[in-house]
Amino acid sequence: MTAIIEPAPPESSSARGGGEHKGLKGGAIGLLSNTVIAIASVAPAYSLAAALGFVVGYVGLQSPIVMLLAFVPMMFVAVGYSQLNRVVPDCGTTFTWGTKAFGPTVGWMGGWGIIAADVIVMANLAQIAGQYMFQLFGAYGLAGDKWWTLLAGVIWIVAMTWICYIGIEISARIQYGLLAVELTMLLVLSFTALGKVYGGSAGRQAIHPAWSWFDPFHASFSSLTLGLLTAIFIYWGWDTAVSINEETKDRHKTPGRAAVISTVVLLVTYVLVTTSAQAFAGVGSKGIGLNNSDNSGDVLSVLGGSVFGTSGFGWFLAKLLVLMVLSSAAASTLTTILPTARTTLSMSVYKSIPARFSRVHGRYLTPTWSTVGMGLLSIAFYVVMTVISKSVLGDTISSLGLMIAFYYGLTGFTCAWWFRKEALRSTGGFLAKFLLPLLGGLMLFAFMIYGMQQFWAPSYGATSWTLPFSPHWHIGGVFLTGVGAILLGLILMVVYRFVNPPFFKGQTLTRDTPVLVPEPDAQDIALTHF
């Protein structure tokens, strides 16, 4: 059964400053669960499997420093998320904050940025999940067939959507087991690889780690920037911790802390795995080399067989590594649906998209239309990308960097603008509320603009398009996917502005509008079943 939230009684509205509850289950998870969900949303194993080869392709041996540098804007923006969440703990995050700070147009596009990025990455997640499901059972032929992989990926999205539908607490409990396997296997892989490198049994392609790997000046500016734009993708996702703020205990502080903690954990994990993988496999374009284009979309499964071996206990560990990436994709699929459903829920409650997306299940207290809609839209996009793209993984990863830089950077600017009048009251406040978020936003927008210029060329990505009005103009598929998604959001916003204008006239959400959050006891919410 589904439910529609009714307006709160007059006396409740008066006490809370007016408005209606969103209907989510307040206080459902704590700091540990929130942090686990944040890290699981990033899916470090899946992200490394899908993106490490592309980073190496851009910067070669400088991959470890790229992982370190990509952390900087992410941490700066995470601090901004934490500060904004303290004053406005709304599950709409960038949408709500952007609207209150800059107005409905900026806020709507910020919300769309979250939606578009999450839909695009679902195609990538489904592709990885489909391939690894077949690899786990030794069906390598099916893993290499795009239609069988498509079928498995669609089934995967359906299953993960159902789990998100039946409750955030169930999703959180599943994450504990999935993340434990994931982080443990990444550590085992890293230390085993380094042990073989220093023990002399890693093979001729192995190279000992050097401090020069952490010198950014050994790479060109162009290569470094494109590497950073790709590395930003593998840090992306920790903002799920803030998107579920209304279901978290101490919603003003816990989500922000979880976001910052998760980025630090990711930094340590990525630098360790990248350094050890590069030391063991090298950056060559042959065999297990990380720059081998045949392996660029799935470096961990290739690396696992070489590091652990193919017989005895090594075979078991190699299979466990495949299971790890599969579980990582599962965790990320779950935690990709969660924030998107809550963003559209918030947008609908404030009347910026159709009202049906604000429906909440009477028993599970989860978004209904928003959750199912996310699943269906993801399936549609995945099917289309499979049909038209030569490489779903390559094109979606690169274009995702543009979308992530867009809405993360926008959030950094929002934080700096929001606290601009109080930033000079203390040194700590100036750094946390103004300077760091502003720098994070500037860096991310710089990466995005440069990436747009580079990705316009058809040589970037596996797919290119010829413009219908000029057969001599070819556009890279990466540019079309990323920038096209932003332009589609602008079109949808203009259309909805005419269909339902109250939001865009500032009648439903302003700087002074109370945040609509659930009461601690969600059972008190008035619901109408149908």
The band of 96, judged by pLDDT with boundaries at 50, 70 and 90, is very high
Any domain includes 351: yes
CA dist 203 → 200, 469, 492 (Å): 7, 53, 54
- Whether pLDDT at 194 is above 80: yes
Output the pLDDT for position 23.
65
Tell me the mean pLDDT in the region 393-405: 74
Any domain includes 457: no
Any domain includes 473: no
Any domain includes 463: no
Candidate from 105-119, 274-288, 459-473, 506-520 with smallest mean pLDDT: 459-473
Instruction: Give the Cα separation of 49 and 397 in Å (integer).
Output: 12
Q: Which residues pair with 464 in a beta bridge?
A: 476
Tell me the mean pLDDT in the region 304-316: 79
The band of 7, judged by pLDDT with boundaries at 50, 70 and 90, is very low
Output the pLDDT for position 514.
77
Output the pLDDT for position 72.
94
The number of folded domains in the chain is 1
- Whether pLDDT at 520 is above 70: no
Instruction: Give the Cα separation of 515 and 506 in Å (integer).
Output: 15
Q: Give 213-270 as a DSSP string.
A: GG-GGGS-HHHHHHHHHHHHHHHTTTTHHHHTGGGBSSTTTHHHHHHHHHHHHHHHHH
Give percent of the chain above pLDDT 70: 85
Indicate the average pLDDT of the chain. 81
CATH number at residue 380: 1.20.1740.10
Instruction: Give the Cα separation of 49 and 294 in Å (integer).
Output: 13
Residue span of the structural domain in which 19 resides: 3-451+490-529
Cβ atoms of 197 and 208 within 8 Å: the answer is yes
The band of 266, judged by pLDDT with boundaries at 50, 70 and 90, is very high
Tell me the mean pLDDT in the region 177-189: 83
Any domain includes 240: yes
Angle CA 275–441–103, to nearest 5: 145
- Whether pLDDT at 56 is above 60: yes
Q: Give rounded-to-5 percent helix, strand, coil for the chain.
A: 70, 5, 25
- Whether pLDDT at 470 is above 70: no
Any domain includes 409: yes
Three-class secondary structure of residue 130 per DSSP: helix
Output the pLDDT for position 175.
66
- For the ranges 120-129, 240-249, 453-462, the maximum mean pLDDT occurs at 240-249
- Whether pLDDT at 325 is above 50: yes
Q: Which two tokens stand for residue 436?
A: 């760091």
Candidate from 89-98, 139-148, 174-183, 427-436 with smallest mean pLDDT: 174-183
- For the ranges 64-68, 129-133, 344-348, the maximum mean pLDDT occurs at 64-68
Any domain includes 220: yes
**How deeply is 491 buried, as exposed, middle or buried, from its count of CB atoms within 10 A (0-12, 13-18, 19+)?**
exposed
Tell me the mean pLDDT in the region 496-512: 84
- Whether pLDDT at 63 is above 90: yes
- For the ranges 103-112, 173-182, 324-333, the maximum mean pLDDT occurs at 103-112
- Whether pLDDT at 516 is above 90: no
Helix (H) or strand (E) holding 444: helix 436-455
The band of 500, judged by pLDDT with boundaries at 50, 70 and 90, is confident
Output the pLDDT for position 335.
66
Instruction: Give the Cα separation of 98 and 115 in Å (integer).
Output: 15
Output the pLDDT for position 4.
35
The band of 119, judged by pLDDT with boundaries at 50, 70 and 90, is confident
Distance, C-alpha 428 to centroid of its chain? 29
Output the pLDDT for position 371.
86
CA dist 298 → 205, 292, 295, 328 (Å): 19, 11, 5, 13
Q: Which residues pair with 475 in a beta bridge?
A: 465
Tell me the mean pLDDT in the region 172-199: 84
Output the pLDDT for position 394.
62
In sequence order, the 6+-apart residues with CB closer than 8 A to the CB of 495 are none
Q: Give 456-510 as a DSSP string.
A: TSTTSSS-EEE-TT-TT-EEEHHHHHHHHHHHHHHHHHHHHHHHSTTGGGTSS--
Could you report the per-residue pLDDT of 219-263, keeping only the tens digit for each? 888 889 888 888 887 888 888 888 888 878 888 889 889 888 999
Q: Which residues pair with 142 in a beta bridge?
A: none
**How deeply is 1 buried, as exposed, middle or buried, from its count of CB atoms within 10 A (0-12, 13-18, 19+)?**
exposed
Any domain includes 307: yes
Instruction: Give the Cα separation of 527 and 361 in Å (integer).
Output: 9
Distance, C-alpha 156 to centroid of its chain? 18
Q: Which residues pair with 3 in a beta bridge?
A: 360, 529
The band of 130, judged by pLDDT with boundaries at 50, 70 and 90, is confident
Among candidates 249, 238, 252, 333, which has minimal Cα distance to 35? Answer: 238
Output the pLDDT for position 444.
93
Q: Which residues pair with 5 in a beta bridge?
A: 527
